[in-house]
């Protein structure tokens, strides 16, 4: 294989109760990336569209990951890389994670698929560190593995792929406001009450159990965040209005995607998802803030090969 074009999905992280430990991939939006083998070693970005990102190979999350993968494999070839961003950086939908995970996947394919998903996640975490300063695994592992994932441990890294009920849908709204990850981290408490911790980890257990048992009521009851959301929602204009509109229309639950500003709602079935979409849209259209929205299935497979030669 000398050429590859892939789709790298956007992701929702935290999923209400699962701060820094739960995430899932979406089907509707993501990046498209191409990888072309070159006889000259090294990495070169030849084109970036859809966002204003650096062409510096050591500062761009995607090229930094490709470089690390090739160096680790002692590759006898180089790669020319193009990136088309299908959604905005800073959206809370894993923009840098899609680039980093896609880069690891694409480079691995040209190497003959020599690395496991866990190893690809580690490479992609390096890209997150380049982009954001912290090697967080929730977004990148969801993009690599697809579906729902649980980051059970960082030391050593352990990723658990969780089942996804067939009727589960996600509706998301991305208000065009900026929420810096640094700010979203700084508003979080450094200590929490034990009773709140018990409630939170019980909800994580309930959500995972609901995914395994296709129990939508249990999923709904567990999509509650009493630790992070109360502090971060203040950074997102009209958050409560959106959440209430989603629940009123039949959503299982709603919360902040990543560090925001995107707000997601999980729904059972296409019909409910359409109602939730319309209700959220109606709740936000007179705020004076521009926004984009989408409905999506959960992306079960993660990366998708669009074309290979």
Looking at the annotation, which residues are catalytic?
128, 181
In whole angstroms, give the CA distance from residue 22 to residue 137.
Answer: 9
Which pairing describes strands 148-154 and 157-162: parallel, antiparallel, or unpaired? Answer: antiparallel
- Please check whether residue 220 is in contact with residue 168, taking contact to mean a CB–CB distance below 8 angstroms: no
138-145 and 95-110 are packed helices; what angle lies between their axes, rounded to 10 degrees? 50
Q: Please give the angle made by the CA atoms of 136, 95 and 203, to the nearest 5 degrees.
A: 50
Return the structure tokens found at 76: 């006898």
In whole angstroms, give the CA distance from residue 243 to residue 50.
Answer: 29
For residue 91, the SS3 value is coil
In whole angstroms, give the CA distance from residue 84 to residue 74.
Answer: 27
- Please check whether residue 256 is in contact with residue 233, taking contact to mean a CB–CB distance below 8 angstroms: yes
Which residue has tokens 């961003």? 85
- Positive/negative CA dihedral, 250, 253, 258, 262: positive
In whole angstroms, give the CA distance from residue 58 to residue 39.
Answer: 20
């Amino acid at each position: 294989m000398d050429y590859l074009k892939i789709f790298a999905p956007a992701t929702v992280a935290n999923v209400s109760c699962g701060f820094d430990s739960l995430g899932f991939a979406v089907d509707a939006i993501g990046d498209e990336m191409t990888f072309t083998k070159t006889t000259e070693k090294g990495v070169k970005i030849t084109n970036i569209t859809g966002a204003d990102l650096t062409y510096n190979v050591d500062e761009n999350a995607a090229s930094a990951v490709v470089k690390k993968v090739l160096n680790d494999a002692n590759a006898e070839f180089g790669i020319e890389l193009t990136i088309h961003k299908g959604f905005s950086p800073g959206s809370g939908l894993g923009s840098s994670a899609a680039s980093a995970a896609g880069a690891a996947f694409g480079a691995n394919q040209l190497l003959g698929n020599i690395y496991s998903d866990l190893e690809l996640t580690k490479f992609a975490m390096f890209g997150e560190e380049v982009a954001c300063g912290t090697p967080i695994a929730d977004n990148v592992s969801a993009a690599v593995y697809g579906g729902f994932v649980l980051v059970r441990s960082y030391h050593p890294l352990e990723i658990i792929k969780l089942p996804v009920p067939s009727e589960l849908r996600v509706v998301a709204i991305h208000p065009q406001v900026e929420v810096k990850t640094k700010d979203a981290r700084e508003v979080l408490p450094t200590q929490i009450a034990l009773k709140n911790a018990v409630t939170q980890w019980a909800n994580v257990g309930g959500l995972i159990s609901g995914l395994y048992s296709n129990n939508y009521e249990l999923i709904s009851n567990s999509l509650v965040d009493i630790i992070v959301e109360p502090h971060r929602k203040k950074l997102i204009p009209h958050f409560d209005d959106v959440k209430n509109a989603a629940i009123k229309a039949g959503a299982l639950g709603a919360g902040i995607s990543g560090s925001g500003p995107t707000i997601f709602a999980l729904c059972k079935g296409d019909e409910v998802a359409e109602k939730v979409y319309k209700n959220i849209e109606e709740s936000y259209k007179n705020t004076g803030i521009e926004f984009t929205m989408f409905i999506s299935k959960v992306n079960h497979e993660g990366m998708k090969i669009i074309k290979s030669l």
